[in-house]
Amino acid sequence: MKSLRYSTQTINKKDIRSVENALYSNFLTQGPKTFEFEKKVKIFVKSKFALMTNSGSSALLLACKALSLKKGDLFWTVPNSFVATANSGILSGLRVDFVDIDPENWNISLEQLENKLINAKKKRKLPKLIIVVHLAGLPVNPIKLRNLSKKYKFKIIEDASHSFGGKYFEQKVGCSKWSDITVFSFHPVKIITTGEGGCCTTNQKKYYEKLKALRNNGIIKDKKKFKFKNLGPWYYEQHSIGYNFRMNELQSSLGISQLKNLNVFLQKRNKIAKFYKENLKNLPIKFQKIEKNLNSTYHLFIIKLESQHESLYKKFFNYLRSKKIFVNLHYLPIHLQPFYRKFGFRSNQFPIAEKYSKTALSIPIYPNLKKKEQIKVVNLIKSFFNKYV
Ligand SMILES: Cc1ncc(COP(=O)(O)O)c(C=O)c1O
């Protein structure tokens, strides 16, 4: 049997045709397909604006920059994310701190967040921004978070890289009803893919305008905004410094086609998750706890060894890899990366996230994972515990 990755893309013939058509079209760089994809996504998530970028990392960076915070302002995020989450704030000139995770759902602990905010207020060191991460596709409770943001006056970016198609309180993740900007990634392992790609959604025009300029080297093409005389159809102005973070037409065409399969992808991921939960119960492992009113996309299916079996982690990981199950850890704590240690972070500072990183692993979940492959994963996990516990 072939090796099974923790996640992988699902591409069909229509996807290929869609990209092929883009190759025959007049535009290869950002053009009508990108705008069509943006329109479809904003209708789908019910946000006022959607802006495509060439990766989730670039979407996160643009989101941080669009908030126009001051250099040295503080932002908080979680340690158990991909480094791009925290990097976006650092690259925007902000200072970072972390909030530990919830021991049951492995997202930001809203309880710890509140306690940290109370203390920070006393010390006049409140953050200006919190970036939450919807780990594995499970959204953070947006209402509780919004209430804290109103009280302590911080802005919110949702790193929803894992959660395209996720839902909270009957709304789609990305509606940005309770946050300033939401960010998605369309990397191949994600829910839908554009090869590489990302997206920001927001309901605020001022953020959208900034995101748009930042994506295109700071260039403004809207005549009404020109500071000098419009010299003619060739004229444009640069008002700020920006990047080329545009999504191209090949990526956008793939995205439009993938969007058509989203519901099937989500249903299949949910079905696999259900199968794992039913067949792996009674083992010394935990699943991500899902609160009422929150719906995961199951971008990842994470299992976590019970604490008393932490010493078995390496053996468990290597056992599954030796059997061609390409499990992975999502994620090593960001604050313990050499780059972040330079800011003074150290071990035991965020003990729940650190413990999590010594006990959690992601097992295969993706739409085309066959039943016999799911059974193989289950049987191997069971056989490991039979042998070693
Ligand atoms: C939580 C999280 N944030 C940000 C990113 C960055 O996205 P991309 O790989 O599209 O740049 C990823 C992707 O791996 C991610 O998992």
Q: Got the DSSP string for 146-160?
A: HHHHHHHT-EEEEE-
- In the reported structure, the alpha carbon of residue 142 is separated from the centroid of ligand 1 by a whole-number distance in angstroms of 20
Alpha-carbon distance of 309 to 101, in angstroms, equals 20
Would you mind telling me the total number of residues written for the chain in this entry?
A: 389
pLDDT higher than 80, residue 304: yes
Q: Are 195 and 250 in contact (CB under 8 A)?
A: yes
pLDDT higher than 80, residue 1: no
- In the reported structure, the alpha carbon of residue 257 is separated from the centroid of ligand 1 by a whole-number distance in angstroms of 21
- Classify 174 as helix, strand or coil: coil
pTM above 0.85, yes or no: yes
- In the reported structure, the alpha carbon of residue 3 is separated from the centroid of ligand 1 by a whole-number distance in angstroms of 24
> Does the beta carbon of 86 sit less than 6 angstroms from any atom of ligand 1?
no
pLDDT of the residue at 2: 83
pLDDT higher than 80, residue 96: yes
Reported as a single tens digit per residue, the pLDDT across 246-299 is 999 999 999 999 999 999 999 999 999 999 999 999 999 999 999 999 999 999
Reported as a single tens digit per residue, the pLDDT across 29-73 is 999 999 999 999 999 999 999 999 999 999 999 999 999 999 999
Residue in 80, 36, 77, 37 with CA at minimum distance from that of residue 60: 77
- In the reported structure, the alpha carbon of residue 28 is separated from the centroid of ligand 1 by a whole-number distance in angstroms of 24
How is domain 4-259 classified at the CATH fold level?
Aspartate Aminotransferase; domain 2 (3.40.640)
Residue 359's identity, in one-letter code, is: T
> Does the beta carbon of 138 sit less than 6 angstroms from any atom of ligand 1?
no
Residue in 299, 274, 278, 304 with CA at minimum distance from that of residue 365: 299
Q: Are 358 and 298 in contact (CB under 8 A)?
A: no
* CATH architecture type of domain 263-388: Alpha-Beta Complex (3.90)
> Does the beta carbon of 192 sit less than 6 angstroms from any atom of ligand 1?
no
Alpha-carbon distance of 40 to 212, in angstroms, equals 17
Q: Which of 9, 54, 57 to mutate to test the pocket of ligand 1 (most atoms within 8 A of CB)?
A: 57
| Residues near 69 by beta carbon (within 8 Å), at least 6 away in sequence | 75, 92, 94, 128, 129, 155
Segments of the chain assigned to CATH 3.90.1150.10: 263-388
- In the reported structure, the alpha carbon of residue 83 is separated from the centroid of ligand 1 by a whole-number distance in angstroms of 8
- In the reported structure, the alpha carbon of residue 24 is separated from the centroid of ligand 1 by a whole-number distance in angstroms of 30
Counting from 1 in the atom list of ligand 1, the atom nearest the Cα of 58 is 11
Strands 167-168 and 171-172: antiparallel
Residue in 291, 299, 298, 295 with CA at minimum distance from that of residue 144: 291
| Average pLDDT of the residues in 335-342 | 98
Segments of the chain assigned to CATH 3.40.640.10: 4-259
Residue 274 burial (CB count, 10 A): 11
> Does the beta carbon of 158 sit less than 6 angstroms from any atom of ligand 1?
no
Distance set, CA 39 to CA 45, 73, 350 (Å): 10, 33, 40
Determine phi and psi for 292, rounding to 5 degrees: -60, 145
Tokens in use for 26? Answer: 């007049």
> Does the beta carbon of 54 sit less than 6 angstroms from any atom of ligand 1?
no
pLDDT higher than 90, residue 7: yes
> Does the beta carbon of 161 sit less than 6 angstroms from any atom of ligand 1?
yes
